[in-house]
A = this chain, B = another copy of it.
Amino acid sequence: MTTVGDIGEFALIERLSKQVDAARLASPGGAGFRLRLGIGDDAAAWQASAGIVVQTTDTMVDGVHFTEATTPWKDVGWKVLVANLSDIASMGAVPLCGIVTLGLPPGLDVASVDALYAGMLEACATYGALIVGGDVVNAQRAFVTVALTGACAGEPLTRAAARPGDTLAVTGPLGASAAGLRLLLQGKADTAPASLIEAHRRPRPRIEAGQSILLAGGRCAMDVSDGLAVDLGKLGKASGVGVRIEAEQVPRAPVLAALGEPDALELALSGGEDYQLVFAAPRQTIEHVLEEVRGAVIIGEVTADEPGMVRLIDAAGTPMPLTLAGWEHLR
């Protein structure tokens, strides 16, 4: 095994630069984009057609966001890119340029870093982003941070634009990633349904769905990364509204049917990392989006309740208990 400590920072950066070059990623963001300086200078430089720049970042830390058991390095690369791409999608933007920070323990094998980059580059190639630079630092535990910019053709979608009376919808089924993670943590990787493992390791950002929401005249969206109920709490708080979800309408991933209720509902409400978009708009706008985005469904409505309040009801309108459990760091 050759470790990153064996070859050192400079040789590692050269190796990763070559891997990025070899991927021959296409120019992102449409006709107006021109990369001026990629990897290898003090900063990257690029031009995009006039418009609004969006900027986000996401990190995965070994032992916190993933372990060797749950996520092979190539999938870590895919996932950290997708977490960023999903933020871009939720603004109604398209991705442009990513910058990567690697925190690496010197004893980590170079093959793992190669695999990490292979996963990131696969996500870039699939969703139209570039890797234009980065930084490598020594760290006790491995982490990877991606900072991604994007371009928005209109006014960016925000989580602060929901209004009482708006209809609430989600772009597709929820809960499969969390179900997959549970099986992986139980050591059942080999016997679990492949689609659940895939859902956890290879989530898909809804970039086109974000574009559809923007084009339909939507103004409010966010991505479901920590769990639907918790994330709707954040959306409500940011918008100064409450939300009411109808339990039967919350789309469970079909593969969850085998688990039965209430487990499937619970996973769909509290599982993170499916990276669907949740969005709110007047009914007519929502219907335009539903025509465009296959799998998108209405799940409830925006209320004049106390900001951030999330209520769950059954088909008869009777309140159901709802645990606002979701991932919180540091606790």
* Residues of A bordering B, CB below 8 Å: 4-5, 7-10, 12, 36-37, 40-48, 50-59, 61, 63-65, 86-88, 90-91, 93, 97, 99, 101, 103-104, 106, 132-141, 143, 145, 147, 149-150, 152, 155-156, 158-160, 222-223, 238, 328-331
Q: Report the bound CA distance from A155 to B45 in whole Å.
A: 9
| This chain's copy number in the assembly | 2
Question: What's the Cα separation between A138 and B91 when bound, in Å?
Answer: 26
Contact B43 A52 (CB under 8 A): no
Nearest first, the 6 closest Cβ-Cβ pairs linking A and B are A147-B147, A43-B56, A9-B329, A42-B87, A42-B90, A45-B156
From B86, B88, B132, B140, contact of A141 by CB (8 A): B140
A139 / chain B contacts, CB cutoff of 8 Å: 61, 64, 141, 143
Known: A44-B56, A55-B99. 17 other contacts (CB 8 A): A4-B330, A5-B331, A37-B158, A41-B158, A42-B223, A43-B54, A55-B97, A55-B147, A56-B99, A59-B103, A61-B103, A64-B138, A106-B331, A138-B329, A141-B141, A145-B145, A149-B149
Q: How far is the CA of A47 from the CA of B55 in the complex (A)?
A: 11
Docked CA distance A331–B137 (Å): 11
Name A55's contact: one of B43, B52, B331 (CB within 8 Å).
Answer: B43
Complex partner residue of A330 from B9, B57, B61, CB under 8 angstroms: B9
**Given A8-B330, A9-B329, A147-B99 contact (CB < 8 Å):** yes
Which of B45, B86, B141, B329 is close to A91, meaning CB atoms less than 8 Å apart?
Answer: B45
Query: In angstroms, how far is the closest chain B Cβ from the Cβ of A74?
Result: 21
Q: Which residues of B contact A133 (CB under 8 A)?
A: 55-57
User: Smallest distance from the beta carbon of A36 to chain B beta carbons, Å?
Assistant: 6
Is B56 a contact of A47 with CB atoms below 8 Å? Answer: no
A53 to B151, CA, bound (A): 12
Residue from B9, B61, B65, B91 in contact with A43 in the complex, judged by beta carbons closer than 8 Å: B91
Q: Which of A61, A132, A331 has the most CB of B within 10 A?
A: A331
CB A211 to nearest CB in B, in angstroms, measures: 15
B99 and A36 within 8 A (CB) = no
CA distance A48 to B50 in the complex (A): 9
- Closest Cβ of chain B to A152, distance in Å, is 6
> Which of A57, A99, A134: most chain B Cβ within 10 A?
A57
Partner among B43, B87, B155, B238 whose Cβ is within 8 Å of the Cβ of A90: B43
- Are A137 and B55 in touch, CB under 8 angstroms? no
With both beta carbons as reference points, the residue of chain B lying nearest to A51 in the complex is identified as B47
The closest CB in chain B to the CB of A231 belongs to: B42
Q: Which residues of B contact A44 (CB under 8 A)?
A: 54-56
